[in-house]
Amino acid sequence: MRKVIYFDQAATTKPYPEVVEVVTDCLVENWGNPSSSYEFGKDARKLIEESRITLANCIGASPEEIFFTSGSTEGINWFTRELQNDPVYTTEIEHPAVIKSIANPQYVSLDKNTVIKTTEIPKYSKVMAAHVNNEIGTILPIKGIKDRNVLLFLDATQSFGHIPINVKTEEIDLMVVSGHKIHGIKSSGFLYASKEYLEVIKNYPMQVGGGQENSFRAGTENVAGIVALAKAAEISLKDRKEKNRKIEKIRNYLYGEITNKIPCAHLNGTANWSKRWCGNLNFRFDGYKGEELLAWFDVNHIAVSTGSACSSHSGNPSHVLKAIGLTDDQANSSIRFSFDETNTLNEAKEVYRVLVEGLEALRK
């Protein structure tokens, strides 16, 4: 395998060795259909239900409130389709899965920290937004939003496993999680729907067909993905405080070096760390092209991103950076560094060294 320093953890993550182990076990030993009534099928069913309990425990939910999906996009699309033309309050910095799927979006402004202005959200409305923004790391003020008595659909794709969430104490009504962002595997995830909301939505299944997932999401389950998700969630949440301290050290080092020593560098988004996920730094480098910097990192075996992985081939400037006030040129000169506890300070030092060399080499 190609050896890379991976600073693109917001795009996807490498499955933990323990995840690979449980997936292999599913594919080699436990490959039965969970709906079959013989023991071999029941073994697969047992794995699913144990995983459901594990995941419910991770967020303070009941197992009946967890529905397995193929990832966050699916859960988001299901909710927005079900709402049809209802106004949904959101922001212009959301992931395309949110922005493209809401039929009647109502955009709420952001404050100087790129945080949603909660006072602009009408009481008793419906809100859908990311807990942690995938491009600039902004953390959603859940309490301030819930104080508006709204229905909150939380896109926890970038936060689950990193920031502990309790859906009951934080009064989250619906939430999506994606396995591949937490060292699980791709095309796995779950939707949490609170019991109260289940009553409303039981007539709007995500997929119809067989009776899987309580007839809510038909189709033979992705047993390996589900088991991987539960294992990845357990591992991610373990010793989280300590892991976040390690990530903060990497952030502090990179931020300090880049802002103190590179005059053309400007942080996109807030430097108020209490409002930003510590595993995200997004810089613009005035006078440079992000694509060229990315290619420089790439030939030096470092993976970073110019925006979200999904939009990085579009050639268009990031809608998130534009929404926070950058010009096209500024947005196109930006690089996102995203890292987690599996990265090291030595790797960050190499990232910085290669960046400095790249800025020198690419200077016009």
- Catalytic positions: 310
Half-sphere exposure of 62 (CA within 13 A, CB side): 8
Instruction: Report d(CA 344, CA 327) in Å as an integer.
Output: 33
3-class state of residue 139 by DSSP: strand
Q: Rule CB under 6 A: choose which of 22, 48, 59, 97 binds ligand PLP.
A: 97
**Distances from the Cα of 35 to the Cαs of 25, 189, 213, 272, in angstroms?**
19, 20, 11, 50
How far apart are the C-alpha atoms of 318 and 336, rounded to whole Å? 11
- Size of site (CB under 6 A) for ligand PLP: 13
Identify the H or E element spanning 269: none
In this structure, what token pair is assigned to residue 212? 């899987």
What are the distances in angstroms from CA 91 to CA 64, 94, 99? 30, 6, 8
72 lies in the site for ligand PLP, by CB under 6 A: yes
- Among residues 157, 236, 334, 338, the one that binds ligand PLP under rule CB under 6 A: 157
189 binds ligand PLP (CB under 6 A): yes
Residue span binding ligand PLP (CB under 6 A) among the ranges 23-31, 66-74, 80-88, 205-213: 66-74
Q: Does 80 bind ligand PLP (CB under 6 A)?
A: no
Q: Nearer Cβ to ligand PLP, position 134 or 244?
A: 134
134 binds ligand PLP per the rule CB under 6 A: yes
> Looking only at residues 165 through 184 of this chain, which bind ligand PLP when binding is defined by CB under 6 A?
178
**By rule CB under 6 A, what string of x and - marks binding of each residue 304-333 to ligand PLP?**
----x-------------------------
Closest approach of ligand PLP to the CB of residue 121, in Å:
19
**Under rule CB under 6 A, which residues in 244-283 are in contact with ligand PLP?**
none
Q: How many residues comprise the chain?
A: 364
Which letter does DSSP use for residue 199 in this model? H
C-alpha to C-alpha distance for 211 and 95, rounded to whole angstroms: 31
Q: Which stretch binds ligand PLP (CB under 6 A): 69-77, 100-108, 205-213, 356-364?
A: 69-77
Binding ligand PLP (rule: CB under 6 A), the pick from 56, 93, 127, 130 is 130
Stretch binding ligand PLP (CB under 6 A), from 154-162, 273-281, 287-295, 327-335? 154-162
DSSP-assigned beta bridge partners for residue 190 = 68, 177
Looking up tokens 């030939």, which residue turns up? 299
Residue 318 CA to residue 331 CA, distance in Å, equals: 6
Determine the Cα–Cα distance for residues 221 and 228; give it in Å rounded to an integer: 13
Q: Is residue 95 within the footprint of ligand PLP (CB under 6 A)?
A: yes
Q: Which residue is nearest to ligand PLP (CB)?
A: 71
Binding residues for ligand PLP (CB under 6 A) = 71-73, 95, 97, 130, 134, 155, 157-158, 178, 189, 308
